[in-house]
Amino acid sequence: MGHAATTVHHDEPGVRLKAVYAHLDCLLAGIARMKADHTEGWTVQSPLPRHEILEAVYEGRPSPVRWWTLTGAIAGLHIGFLLPALTAAQWPMINPGGKPVVSLVPYAVIMFECTILFGSIATLLGLMFHSGVPAMLDRSLKDPRVTDASFTIVFPSAPRSQVEKLKAALVATGAIEVTTGDDAVYEVPNV
Amino acid sequence: MASNDAIYGYDPRDPAAPNRPTTYGQVNRDIIRPLLRPTALWLLAMAIVVGMMVWGGFAWYQQITMGMGVAGITHPVMWGVYIVTFVFWIGIGHAGTLISAILFLVYSRWRTGVYRASEAMTVFAVMTALLFPVLHLGRCWQAYWFFPYPNQRQLWMNFKSPLMWDVFAISTYFTVSAVFFYVGLVPDIAIFRDHSKGLIRKVYGAMALGWHGTDRQWHHYMAAYGFFAAFAAPLVLSVHSVVSWDFAMAPTAGWHSTIFPPYFVAGAIFSGCAMVISLLMPMTYLFKWEPYVNLWHFENLAKMCLLTSGILTYAYGMEYFIAWYSQNPYEWAIFSWRATGDYAWAFWLMVFCNCVAPLVWYSKKMRTNPWSLFIVAAIINVGMWLERFNIVISSTAHNFDPQTWALYSPTWVEVGVLIGSAGWFGTWFLLFCKTFPAVAITEIKEMVAPPVKGAGH
């Protein structure tokens, strides 16, 4: 939800539109309003992961990162077996203590460790892929107040013909400030 | 140190607590304010730890240029202070992941104030531990032989060896802990980026990876964080189990025991929690974190220490019982010698530090007294190093053949490296606390009531 580059009228030239909220309940009202109006192309920013926000935006849909985790863990389990097994098969004369050349029990430790290692690395890759980081050059969402104490609903590229309507809707839900364009640069206190 | 009343401060269960932060912005400013502003006390501490590290580096340089003969390890004690200290630092690294992962999964609220610094401690402790196998090699430039890769020497390692399991266990633990640590830091680095200017903003901006707190970022972040915690949790139990197998898989008297994995894991958590107390008590006062880290957290850490101290005491007793009950003369000989022989001082000091001293924390008054917490935690750290000394040294000094028996004492080079390792760890930790939020800002904010205007929109 809210990740398409523009709203419904994609062929129109867009403008950034940002509504700043000081209160969580107002933000949730804003999200509900956008959903009720079937408005698309918006993103919510918050200083912390409030479950109410994620529930309102994603309506319980789980993150696909879990598939990365599962795939990485299964791959790691197999790598953890194949690495020692193929190594031992290449050197069958190394047979300590009369144990079988390919021994599942001692390899279980390597399999366990590789499951964790590859599962974690895949989770990290999945997180980066789906959350769009690193994204240092994306300035459309830049607003230092978000990491401080404010909430926002941002349209990175709202259709110009709908800006006034969207502004009115956002102000009605309690936004303390609604701006358009890139002109509004804010600073928080440099402590 | 401040009185109990002054620092008991913020308990999230108590909405009327006097120091309770009331806004998200206040949390940001409280935690960020001391960063990047070195105080005289911090500079003094840095000078001490850097001095220790330089001394350790000099000792290592002596060993590299003169050879392993400058270390005290020789037949029959081929695992001396280096392996003792390796196991000690791996153990220290356990509490961080326990606090950050296992306590996260069980929704323990007291972890929030202390988990970031504990995670940092874990990463730096494992970085310190990893020095020791390299040091112990002698020819440290061949350390890459530890890892499996196709090579022109056509040499492969033995995956059935517990030493190779250890390479995998510790490198996995380090990687997963470091990833978990950094992922947790990213939103807080973004806060610091937004509160800074100029070059500092650019540096932190690069490290924040373009984090802007979008719903998309938080949605996937929360899912991934849960998975990282789920992966890290079994590692807490597995890593020190694998380290214990370095000993227990050998048919050496005093080592060859199935009690080793739980005994080592309990000991690791015990020493790790004590180290968290030792590090965070002074840092709390130095950085003025009292509203966020206070005696409520330290009391809970002390309770963890009490639990694991009880497990350790049971394990120490059970080792003796098994040695006696098995009627294995070699086992009984080594355990008798530990308690009455040349290293009896280390054994009884260990018993005092790990089994007796923590008992004072059964009193709530002592458990919530800053001085009692700091002193007993320091005693536990000494005791846990001595535990590894007892295990490693006594069993190798008196092995199966009395003709080979000999005593071991570390040389100045080994002692120098031991001191240097503490300096290396301390340098990383102090640098971290001055340059990154060592108290997790975002998670602290989750404990603050959100700003709400009220109904009627």
Mean pLDDT of A76-100: 82
Chain A contact set for B190 (CB, 8 A) = 147
A36 touches chain B (CB under 8 A): no
Chain A contact set for B159 (CB, 8 A) = 83-84, 87-88, 106-107, 110
In this predicted structure, what is the pLDDT of residue B19? 57
Q: How many CB pairs under 8 A join A and B?
A: 221
Helix (H, G, I), strand (E, B) or coil at A120: helix
Please give the DSSP secondary-structure letter assigned to residue A141.
Answer: T
**DSSP secondary structure, B324-369, as one string:** HHTT-HHHHHHHHHHHHSTTHHHHHHHHIIIIIGGGGGGSHHHHT-
- Kindly list the distances between the CA atom of residue B71 and the CA atoms of A135, B337, B342, B346, B414, in Å, as whole numbers in the listed order: 50, 25, 20, 20, 6
The chain-wide mean pLDDT, for chain A, equals 85
A163 touches chain B (CB under 8 A): no
B270 within 8 A of B345, measured Cβ to Cβ: no
Domain ranges (residues) in chain A: 14-61+134-180, 65-131
- Kindly list the distances between the CA atom of residue A138 and the CA atoms of A18, A47, A133, B201, B205, in Å, as whole numbers in the listed order: 15, 18, 10, 16, 12
B28 within 8 A of B195, measured Cβ to Cβ: yes
In this predicted structure, what is the pLDDT of residue B112? 86
A2 touches chain B (CB under 8 A): yes
Best mutation target among A117, A120, A186 (most B Cβ atoms within 10 Å) is A120
The residue of chain A nearest to residue B188, with distances taken between CA atoms, is A147
Distance from CA of B455 to the nearest CA of A (A): 8
- Give the number of C-alpha atoms closer than 13 A to the C-alpha of residue A61, restricted to the C-beta side: 11
B247 within 8 A of B260, measured Cβ to Cβ: yes
- Dist. CA B19–CA B278, nearest whole Å: 23
Distance from CA of B351 to the nearest CA of A (A): 32
In this predicted structure, what is the pLDDT of residue A185? 52
Rg (chain A; Cα; Å): 25
A103 touches chain B (CB under 8 A): yes
The chain-wide mean pLDDT, for chain B, equals 90
Identify which has the larger pLDDT, A142 or B202.
B202
CB contact under 8 A, A49 and B197: no
- Dist. CA B450–CA A151, nearest whole Å: 11
Answer yes or no: is pLDDT of A10 > 70.
Answer: no
Identify which has the larger pLDDT, B326 or A187.
B326
A160 within 8 A of A12, measured Cβ to Cβ: yes
Level-2 CATH architecture, domain A14-61+134-180: 2-Layer Sandwich (3.30)
Give the residue ranges of chain B where pLDDT is below 50: 1-10, 12, 15, 18, 455-457
Distance from CA of B170 to the nearest CA of A (A): 9
In this predicted structure, what is the pLDDT of residue B158? 83
In this predicted structure, what is the pLDDT of residue B209? 92
Quick one: B338 exposed, middle or buried, by C-beta within 10 A (0-12, 13-18, 19+)?
buried
Answer yes or no: is pLDDT of A142 > 70.
Answer: yes
Nearest by CB to B453, from A58, A123, A174: name it: A174
Contacts of B342 (CB under 8 A, 6+ apart): B397, B407
Token pair 């002596």 is found at B62
Best mutation target among B212, B241, B441 (most A Cβ atoms within 10 Å) is B212
With cut-offs at 50, 70 and 90, classify the pLDDT of residue A137.
low
Distance from CA of A83 to the nearest CA of B (A): 9
In this predicted structure, what is the pLDDT of residue A13? 66
Answer yes or no: is pLDDT of A124 > 90.
Answer: yes
Chain A contact set for B33 (CB, 8 A) = 191
The residue of chain A nearest to residue B232, with distances taken between CA atoms, is A116
Q: Which secondary-structure segment (H or E) carries B413?
A: helix B412-435
What is chain A's length? Answer: 191
Nearest by CB to B453, from A26, A44, A106: name it: A26
With cut-offs at 50, 70 and 90, classify the pLDDT of residue A2.
very low
With cut-offs at 50, 70 and 90, classify the pLDDT of residue A7.
very low
A13: its two tokens: 């030239």
- Please confirm whether the linkage preceding B370 is cis (ω < 30° from 0): no
CB contact under 8 A, A47 and B238: no
Contacts of B236 (CB under 8 A, 6+ apart): B94, B97, B98, B101, B102, B265, B269
A90 touches chain B (CB under 8 A): yes
A117 touches chain B (CB under 8 A): yes
CATH 1.10.510.10 fits B20-446, yes or no: no
Chain B contact set for A16 (CB, 8 A) = none
Identify which has the larger pLDDT, B17 or A1.
B17
